[in-house]
Structure 1
Amino acid sequence: MSLIAENLSIIKQSIPENVTLVAVSKTKPISDLQKAYDVGQRVFGENKIQEMVEKYNALPKDIKWHMIGHLQSNKVKYMAHFVDLIHGVDTFKTLQEINKQAKKHNRIIHCLLQAKIAKEETKFGLSFNEIETILASSETLALKNIKIVGFMGMATFTDNQEQLQEEFSSLKSLFDKLKATYSSLKILSMGMSGDYILAISEGSTMIRVGSSIFGNRNYNY
């Protein structure tokens, strides 16, 4: 058994059945993704569209591809025919572009609104008020080729467990409040290699794990 297979087995045993594991495969070679695929992993996350397109073309077509990085609207067209879920939507303009490109392929693309929960200034994301405004907007309702299915949040890069818990908990509270009104909200994407156990305890239904599966990233790849 490969190290990747062993890592996947350990992680899957540590998470509840209702939590989806997204294997974050950015910068990793296709051979590594194939090892994960061979032991049953079917959901992969990439943060660069060009890299995701190359891997989509090379790997089995039953893989669900998630776009997890910050999204440039002008790149949406390259993945609109196959992407399964887009995590990092943080502007209404981006939703409009996803809808436009999805329509060309007669698809409905599922999206997560990215909430700004981290204290760091570098993180992208919408305020909670902006999220509520987008969901309630008649302009959003008019976009028939996208479906907002939940929220994504990236916590502060810190070892402070109380701070992480507070950030995850705040987004879970918003999620619970709004899913009472919007039945399409099913997914709460929170937690990465360093904090996914805590994120799950705070209500995450989807975790994005890379280095704990594939090892440290090689940015020269």
Structure 2
Amino acid sequence: MGISENINEILLDIKKLSPYPEKVNLVAVTKYVDVETVKEVLKSGAHILGENKVQVLTKKHDELWDYSVNHKWHFIGNLQKNKVKYIAQFIDMVHSINKLSLAQEIDKRAQEHNRVIDVLIEINLFQEDSKEGYDYQDFLNDIPALLTLKNIKIKGLMTMAPYTDNEDLLRNGFKKLRDLKDELNTLYFNDSLTELSMGMSNDYKIALEEGATLIRVGSKIFE
């Protein structure tokens, strides 16, 4: 199947599997494809583009800045503080806040451009050493400082699941992230956390069933 058919299939999965499909958005992960292919993605009905390298993101953004199809850019990878300045002017959401100092840098750069940037807190829920993300307790400790930042808006949580066929492990992890969001909304955020970024090409169906609002899908689109 082609890109358009694959995206249509994913959008149908959202309608079939999510308890609230109207709240769900597909983030098309375009890190391995060129700009002409990205244009095909946009024409096929996916309007949020996800990249995990700043240099690639800025190049594609520059090449598409006047493209007629509306689109948003989400940064989904590990973001180095010294690279924030290159994307602060245009990035729509950063999925991967994993330390206070990174949040502070995004806040500072957003302020320079008179912007408020939406962010997600990445939680290392599956305790993998190879994965970035906050330890949950460390995040709780940082919440008072994070809530003082005026030029970022914490919209929800993100997690990176292991690549595994163990559906129970994945489902329990995604459910745990949803439960953490509910807990945080009650204790600190007054129901302002609305997003759950979880699920990729191999596990997005499970993530949808467990309440994902952002699914980050790449290879499934281009297979």
Letter in 1 for 2:159: G
Alignment correspondent of 1:13: 12
1:147-158 alignment to 2 at 5 Å? 147-158=153-164
Structure 2 CA distance for aligned equivalents of residues 13 and 170 of structure 1: 25
Partner of 1:103: 111
Letter of the 2:152 partner, please give it: I
- Show the counterpart of 2:18: none
Superposed CA deviations along residues 27-66 of structure 1, whole A, max 9, x for unmatched, are 2100111001112221000000111111111112731100
Alignment partner, residue 100 of structure 2: 92
Structure 2, gaps ≥5 residues long? 15-20
Displacement of 1:68 = 0.2
Structure-2 separation of matches of 1:28 and 1:156: 23
| Misfit runs of 4+, over 6 Å | none
Quick check: 41-50 or 57-66, which moved more?
A: 57-66
Q: Deviations over 1:11-31 (max 9, x none)?
A: 111102321100000021001
- For 1:194, the equivalent position in structure 2 comes to 202
SS at match of 2:23: coil
Aligned partner of residue 134 in structure 1, secondary structure? helix
* Equivalence for 1:164: 170
Displacement of 1:117: 1.2
Partner of 2:126, secondary structure, is coil
Deviation larger for 37-46 or 191-200: 37-46
Identity, % of aligned positions: 43
Stretch deviating more after TM superposition (72-81 or 30-39): 30-39
CA distance in 2, matches of 1:198, 1:141: 31
Letter in 1 for 2:61: Y
Cross-structure match for 1:145: 151
* TM-score with structure 1 setting the length: 0.92
Give CA-to-partner distance per residue, 1:162-183, whole Å, 9 cap, x none: 1111111111110111122413
Gaps of 5+ in 1: 216-221
User: Which of the residues 75, 81, 90 maps onto 1:67?
Assistant: 75
Q: Distance in 2 between matches of 1:109 and 1:162?
A: 34
Q: What is the root-mean-square deviation of aligned Cα atoms in Å?
A: 1.3
Q: Deviations over 1:98-117 (max 9, x none)?
A: 01100110000111000001
- SS of the residue corresponding to residue 10 of structure 1 reads helix
* Matching residue's letter, 1:5: S
1:206 aligns to 2:209 (yes or no):
no
Deviation at 1:96, TM superposition (A): 0.5
TM-score, structure 2 normalization: 0.91
Please state whether the residue corresponding to 1:44 is helix, strand or coil: strand
Tell me, yes or no, if the aligned pair for 1:32 and 1:214 is still in contact at 8 Å.
no
Counterpart of 1:37 (choices 42, 60, 64) is 42
* Equivalences, count: 212
Instruction: Measure the CA separation in 2 of the matches of 1:127 and 1:174.
Output: 12
Q: What is the DSSP-based 3-state SS (H/G/I as helix, E as strand, rest coil) of the residue aligned with 1:45? A: strand
